[in-house]
Structure formats: structure tokens, C-alpha cells
């Protein structure tokens, strides 16, 4: 992806303009204007700009929100479906989970990003274009960032699965519970909820 200024062209010189160019993926992320309809993240040192998911992908993320609605109301928690940036505490890398569960007083990095160490849970819905990032790259990022629980909904696995990752230590989740989609899986503390994953396979 090539970013170009909308102003008149200018000549870059090593002595002047180069010093103002973003030096890291994080700095480039911060320099980007709002990109409606696109997801922008930094994963494994790469700035990734991708389209939002399919309607089926968005539907599953919304179903996670719906399943936790009563619990959220009871405990005063906030749920965000694919529309909030999370800053991984430590390296300060930005990601955009498909679903985020957070307390109302979750600390922030700047105005727009929730700090990962203040979250209760994140969820990712795997799509064909996100297999490597969601299955391999993001779990250790969330664990290292202090996210207590990660939910991974994988409708493209054969058979489809739902995985709960918890007990983060030294940048890895120590407890991994995977069930076939359609089964009930327990989401441990701080959530403490039995999730009926059959809702993800209903039409």
C-alpha cells in the first residue's frame, strides 16, 4: 500500500524531509488519517491494512456480544464489536479485535485506544485472510499485553471450533480449551460464564 500526500508534490531530501518520515509501524499507524471501512493493525512489526470482514464474520462477532449481554448489564461492563482499537501494553502496538469486553474504567493509550492490560476479554473470528495472525500471532500478543481471556471462534476449521485461552504467564496462555462448535465451553474468571457455541452455527 502506497500512501501519498493530497497536497502538492514535494522533493524529499535526506537533510530535511527524511527525518519527519515515520520510522516504525507504530509511528506510521499514528500518522494515518481515519480509514473508514478498513482495519488497521500492527502485527509482528507489520502495518496491516485490511478490509472489514464479511457479513458472516460480523454476525459471529455480534453473537458474542449478544451472548454476553445479560452478564454485561449485570456487571456494568462495556462490549465493543469491531470498532475499537486496543493498544498492547508494553510494545504499544495497536490491534483491532473483533470483540472487546472491558470495564467502564479501562485505562487508555491516548484518546482512542483501550490499554490491553485493563481489558477483561478479547475475541477474534477467524477468516481465510486472518488464519496465521489470529491463530498464531495474536494469542501471544494478547497474553503478553495482560488480557486475561481470549476467545477464538474458528468457523473455517474442519470441523469448526471455539477455543478459550486463559491463564496468561510470560507471554503465553497456559490453559487452552477447544470444543467443537455447537458445544458449551466455560469462559473462566474474570468472566465466569458458560458459552453455548451452538449460536454460532445457527442460521
The vertex-104 CA angle with 99 and 105, nearest 5°, equals 120
Give the per-residue pLDDT at 87. 96
The pLDDT tens digits along the chain (203 residues) read 333 333 333 343 444 455 578 888 888 888 888 788 788 899 988 888 888 778 888 999 999 999 999 999 999 999 999 879 999 999 999 999 999 999 999 999 988 899 999 999 999 999 988 899 999 999 999 999 999 999 999 999 999 999 999 999 999 999 999 999 999 999 999 999 999 999 998 65
Q: Where are the domains of the chain?
A: 53-200
Give the per-residue pLDDT at 19. 57
The pTM of the full predicted model, rounded to 2 decimals, is 0.85
Architecture of 53-200 per CATH?
Alpha-Beta Complex (3.90)
Give the per-residue pLDDT at 124. 96
Reference 154, options 133, 135, 177, 170; nearest CA is 135
Residue with cell 449481554: 69
Give the per-residue pLDDT at 16. 46
Query: Which residues, in sequence order, are CB contacts of 74 under 8 Å at separation 6+?
Result: none
Amino acid at each position: 500500500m502506497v500512501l501519498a500526500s493530497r497536497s502538492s508534490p514535494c522533493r524529499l531530501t535526506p537533510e530535511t524531509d527524511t527525518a519527519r518520515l515515520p520510522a516504525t509501524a507504530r509511528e506510521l499507524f499514528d500518522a494515518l488519517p481515519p480509514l473508514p471501512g478498513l482495519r488497521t493493525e500492527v502485527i509482528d512489526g507489520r502495518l496491516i491494512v485490511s478490509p472489514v470482514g464479511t457479513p458472516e464474520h460480523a454476525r459471529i462477532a455480534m453473537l458474542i456480544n449478544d451472548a454476553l449481554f445479560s452478564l454485561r448489564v449485570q456487571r456494568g461492563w462495556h462490549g465493543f464489536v469491531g470498532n475499537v482499537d486496543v493498544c498492547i501494553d508494553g510494545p504499544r502496538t495497536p490491534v483491532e479485535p473483533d470483540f472487546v469486553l472491558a470495564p467502564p474504567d479501562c485505562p487508555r493509550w491516548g484518546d482512542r485506544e483501550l490499554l490491553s492490560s485493563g481489558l477483561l476479554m478479547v475475541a477474534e473470528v477467524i477468516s481465510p485472510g486472518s488464519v496465521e495472525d489470529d491463530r498464531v500471532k495474536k494469542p501471544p500478543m494478547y497474553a503478553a499485553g495482560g488480557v486475561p481471556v481470549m476467545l477464538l471462534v474458528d468457523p473455517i476449521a474442519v470441523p469448526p471450533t471455539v477455543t478459550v485461552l486463559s491463564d496468561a504467564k510470560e507471554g503465553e496462555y497456559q490453559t487452552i480449551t477447544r470444543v467443537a462448535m455447537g458445544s458449551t465451553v466455560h469462559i473462566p474468571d474474570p468472566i465466569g460464564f458458560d458459552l453455548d457455541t451452538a449460536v454460532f452455527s445457527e442460521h
